[in-house]
Amino acid sequence: MIRPFITVAVFITAWWAITAFTSIPPFMLPAPAAVAQALYTQAPYLAANAGVTLGEILLGLVVGTLLGGVAALGIAASSTLQRWLWPILVLSQAIPVFTLAPLLVLWLGFGIGSKVAMAVLVIFFPVTANFLDGLRRTAPGWLDLGRTMNGSPWHILLHLRLPAALPAFASGLRVATAVAPIGAILGEWVGASSGLGYVMINANARIQTDLMFAALVILAAMTITLYVAVDALLRRLLTWAPGG
């Protein structure tokens, strides 16, 4: 439990040592104290923008997870859907999502829509792929049992394959939680009027590097907190699965 704090302390000390004992100018690498001060003096501004980004991330997570879950269930339930949808999904991964960001801003505007859409795009595939993998790997013994019990394909999917795939779905959701902020920030970089990504782009342009670092610190803290919360929730819900 204490190990992460040691790691962070060592990291900050090393960072401080570099700023204190080298001639790297503050506009390239601000000292930890300067970043802390920016965090303190700009707290209301940072908090308001962090709230916007967090909203985008959460909304993106919910929508992306729902869409991914439905897509995986659909593909698992219907071989027709699998034949048509799966190649498109795999192909879609060949397009770097980043290149779509300007297009999304053009289509959906500078508001929250384009950022949520961006987050959904990066979340959708890990959720779908992991969940589908789980749905396809139902233990053969259970499927045999379902067949000898004269189960219908739909009820076998609902009562056997779906719950059995939940640990795999949880893996996908963990990955999604870790990458969702990337989508939101990316959307903000391309065009936004608020959010941590917007703060960073603005601060960068004005060489307020300490403010940029402060935004980065908040983003990292937010991502880690979100991941830990989702991980804890999943472990609570899936107590029966080995390793949560």
Partner 1 sequence: MPPGIELRGLGLRYAGAEIFSGLTLTLPAAEFSVLLGPSGAGKTSLLRIIAGLELPDAGEVAATDNAPLAGRVSYMAQQDLLLPWASALKNVMLGARLRGEAEDPARAAALLEQVGLPHRASARPAELSGGERQRIALARTLYEDRPVILMDEPFSSLDAITRVRMQDLAARLLSGRTVLLITHDPFEACRLGHSFTILSGSPARLSPPTRLPGTPPRAPDEDGILHLQGELLRQLAAS
Structure tokens at 45: 């501004």
State the nearest-atom distance from the C-beta of 240 to partner 1, in Å. 4
Please report whether residue 235 would count as binding partner 1 according to CB under 8 A.
no
Crossing angle of the two packed helices 79-92 and 112-136, in degrees rounded to 10: 130
In the set 4, 44, 96, 141, which binds partner 1 (CB under 8 A)? 141
Please report whether residue 236 would count as binding partner 1 according to CB under 8 A.
no
In 128-141, which positions are buried (b, 16+ CB within 10 angstroms) versus exposed (e)? Answer: bbbbbebbeebeee
**Closest CB to partner 1 among residues 131, 198:** 131
State the nearest-atom distance from the C-beta of 172 to partner 1, in Å. 18
Please report whether residue 149 would count as binding partner 1 according to CB under 8 A.
yes
In the set 64, 146, 195, 197, which binds partner 1 (CB under 8 A)? 146
Please report whether residue 159 would count as binding partner 1 according to CB under 8 A.
yes
State the nearest-atom distance from the C-beta of 237 to partner 1, in Å. 10
List CB contacts of 89: < 8 A, sequence separation 6 or more. Answer: 71, 125, 128, 129
Crossing angle of the two packed helices 162-190 and 112-136, in degrees rounded to 10: 150
Please report whether residue 111 would count as binding partner 1 according to CB under 8 A.
no
Provide Rg for the chain, Cα atoms: 22
Please report whether residue 21 would count as binding partner 1 according to CB under 8 A.
no
Q: Confirm if 142 and 160 have CB atoms less than 8 A apart.
A: yes
Q: Confirm if 60 and 120 have CB atoms less than 8 A apart.
A: yes
Half-sphere exposure of 112 (CA within 13 A, CB side): 11
Please report whether residue 142 would count as binding partner 1 according to CB under 8 A.
yes
Please report whether residue 243 would count as binding partner 1 according to CB under 8 A.
no
List CB contacts of 196: < 8 A, sequence separation 6 or more. Answer: 46, 49, 50, 52, 53, 185, 188, 215, 218, 219
Number of residues interacting with partner 1: please give it, by CB under 8 A: 23
Taking CB under 8 A as the binding criterion, the range among 111-119, 142-150, 200-208, 221-229 that sits at the site for partner 1 is 142-150
**Closest CB to partner 1 among residues 74, 163:** 163
Q: Which residues bind partner 1 (CB under 8 A)?
A: 139, 141-142, 144-152, 154-156, 159-160, 163-164, 166, 238, 240-241
